[in-house]
Amino acid sequence: MTSMLSAPWLCLPLLLLCAVPGDPALSAPPPTDPLPAGPPAVVATLFPGAPAAPRPAPAFNDDITPESVAAVNAALEWLSRAQNPNGSWDAAVGFKLNQDYKVTANEVPHVGVTALAGIAFLSAGHLPDRGLYGKVIGDATRYVVSRVNDQGYITANGTRMYSHAFATLFLAEVYGMTNSRDVKDELQRAVNHIVACQNAEGSWRYVPFAVESDMSITVCQLNALRGARNVGIRVPRSTIDRAAGYVARSYVRDDHSPDLWADYYRLGRGSFKYQAEQHTRSSFALTAAGLAALHNAGLYSDANEGIDLDDSIDFLKRHYDLVSGKYYRHHYFYWYGHYYATQALYVIGGKAWDWYFPRIRAELLKSQQPDGSLPCRIGPGEAFSTAVGTVILSIPYGYLPIFQR
């Protein structure tokens, strides 16, 4: 689960916030023990240990239908055509502005979107430098590795910590498949950067070393750390515990008036707040991300009195029609929310999954455009939405450890 797929993608500026001149976080000191400096060594092939052939095609079942497989394949073909020669995908870098998306750099190579596109190919069973889309994944990996800077921060064209988290998760999944030493070295530096940037609350914000906190960004970092730890990368247990604790503190234990926040933003028992402090907003997407993180971390036991993730599932059900309704459908709120809802409910399984997945699958199949892409009405663009939609449809394939039950 997630994790990741991440988005996202809400009160979050999904993936991609540009650095704002004068932001105090930008002038924060580097870690006490600076990470190794110098550009990464990008070699002709990073994957000598990759399996020799792609995984077999998924078997059809209640979740995987001929129509959904055809949709995944068409989306991957569109993504492969949209990839830049340097391995990246172009998208709009920007940030959330109320319920809009403020673009700061339009149609530029985007680290976060490139990582999500790479994850889409991996989740459908394709492997780096092997098989039909091997070069696509290999080139994407080489691009992401090339954007790891001296402090281990994965960034380009003003992308921020959302993109860094998705890029770290992508490298973790690639390394788990290939045992590439070059990928491992850069992945460890990216993880070290996340660890160094964690603030006193156990959280993160849009830029490195920020003192403020944000639940949605924290979930993204937590999922990246989990993915890295799963493949043997050094991750301090205390970092994960403090992050999971922050997500748990964002959980709403009491009933609130549904009118406390207008329109998209709602509070209610089982939801997760944007920030752990009182009187901050919540949403479908934030709650999906929090549900994924806490279920994965096991933080819904007797040791965490008042946390009942069944209430979170009920919150998602009550607000499904809002996020999938006419206004928000294909908004980046929509894509980020369903990216995490699919991961959480797939791992939980049972009646919640059986209720949820046929609905979102039908929406995506209906939404797919003739060229294979999926629309992004507001947000980074169609490379983003197509990648996220592909991940959603292919999570039941069960190929990536981060998405497995």
pLDDT digits (tens, 9 = 90+) for 4-36: 333 333 333 343 333 333 333 323 333 333 333
pLDDT tens digits along 318-346: 999 988 988 789 988 999 999 999 999 99
Q: Which of helix, strand or coil describes residue 286?
A: helix
Q: How many domains does the chain have?
A: 1
Going by the DSSP 8-state scheme, the letter that residue 56 receives in this structure is P
Rounded to two decimals, the pTM is 0.85
> Average pLDDT, stretch 197-214?
92
Domain that holds residue 152: 57-403
CATH code: domain of residue 139: 1.50.10.20
Whether 136 maps to a domain, the answer reads yes
Percent of the chain with pLDDT over 90: 60
The pLDDT of 367-372, averaged and rounded, is 98
Q: Of the candidates 169, 167, 164, 157, which has an alpha carbon nearest to the alpha carbon of residue 196?
A: 164
- Assess if residue 44 is contained within a domain: no
Judge residue 326's burial from the number of C-beta atoms within 10 Å of its C-beta, 0-12 exposed, 13-18 middle, 19 or more buried: exposed
Is 77 a domain residue? yes
pLDDT for 278 equals 59
Q: Is residue 25 part of a domain?
A: no
Instruction: Tell me the C-alpha to C-alpha distance, in Å, between residue 133 and each of 53, 83, 115, 382.
Output: 11, 12, 15, 19
Q: Residue 87 falls within a domain, yes or no?
A: yes
Determine, yes or no, domain membership for 303: yes
Q: Is residue 296 part of a domain?
A: yes
Handedness of CA 395, 10, 303, 222 (dihedral sign): positive
* In-domain check, residue 22: no
